[in-house]
Structure 1
Amino acid sequence: MELTETQKKRLRSRAHTLNPVVLVGQHGLKPTVLEEITSALDYHQLIKVKLSVGDRDLRDEMVEQIIQYSQALLIQRVGNVAVLYRRNTDRPDVLKEPVL
């Protein structure tokens, strides 16, 4: 699924007030962390993940692994925080909900 720039902008604005749902620490990506990210995406559709690990290259690699495993889209990455989106057809779409 590909999003337009307008849709990405709307998701970035919605994510601005969110707190990170999953924190990846010094032990890195374990299968349980990847499952937690997947279940958080199933429920929330739009989440923040905080990566408190090593250098930029390692964070980029971890974000890529998360995206491949969860089949999510990277909306934005600022420093240690990545914003991910994956549509869940069983729940109301966060793209279509009015912004409060």
Structure 2
Amino acid sequence: MITSKQRSYLRSLANTIQPIFQIGKDGVEESFLSQVEDALEAREIIKISVLNNSGLTAREASDIICEELKCEGVQAIGNKLVLYRRSKKKPKIELP
């Protein structure tokens, strides 16, 4: 669990990054989850865009992904969501 101060710091980091994944009409599938897991291990913080035809809101998608991958949902605004998980091999982000 991250604190509100840490969440605020992560939001500031995510402000400048671009979404690297999109959730479309197929929703959240196993192959998508494995790609997100690899990206979280490599980058620690990622941004995902939810398309209008997906049938999910950003909050619902964030909850599903976080439950499956044991990561933290940092932010879900509009059609974008930000996820964070500390890397097991080489942590890059130092939380306050």
TM-score by length of 1: 0.83
CA shift, 1:92, in A, is 2.9
Where has structure 1 moved over 6 Å in runs of 4 or more? none
Matched residue, 1:25:
24
**For residue 73 of structure 1, what is the amino acid of its counterpart?**
E
1:93 aligns with 2:92: yes
The one-character-per-residue Cα deviations of 1:47-90 (angstroms, maximum 9, x if unpaired) are 001111458x8323322111111111011111111100000131
What secondary structure is seen at the aligned counterpart in 1 of 2:56? helix
Structure 1 gaps, min length 5:
none
What are the Cα deviations for residues 6-63 of structure 1, in whole angstroms up to 9, with x where unaligned? 11111100000001111111221121111111111011000001111458x8323322
Q: Find the counterpart in structure 2 of residue 78 from structure 1.
A: 77
In angstroms, what is the RMSD of aligned CA positions? 1.8
Residue identity over aligned pairs, in percent, reads: 29
Question: How many residues are aligned here?
Answer: 94
Gaps of 5+ in 2: none
- Is the 8 Å Cα contact of residues 45 and 84 (structure 2) preserved in structure 1? yes
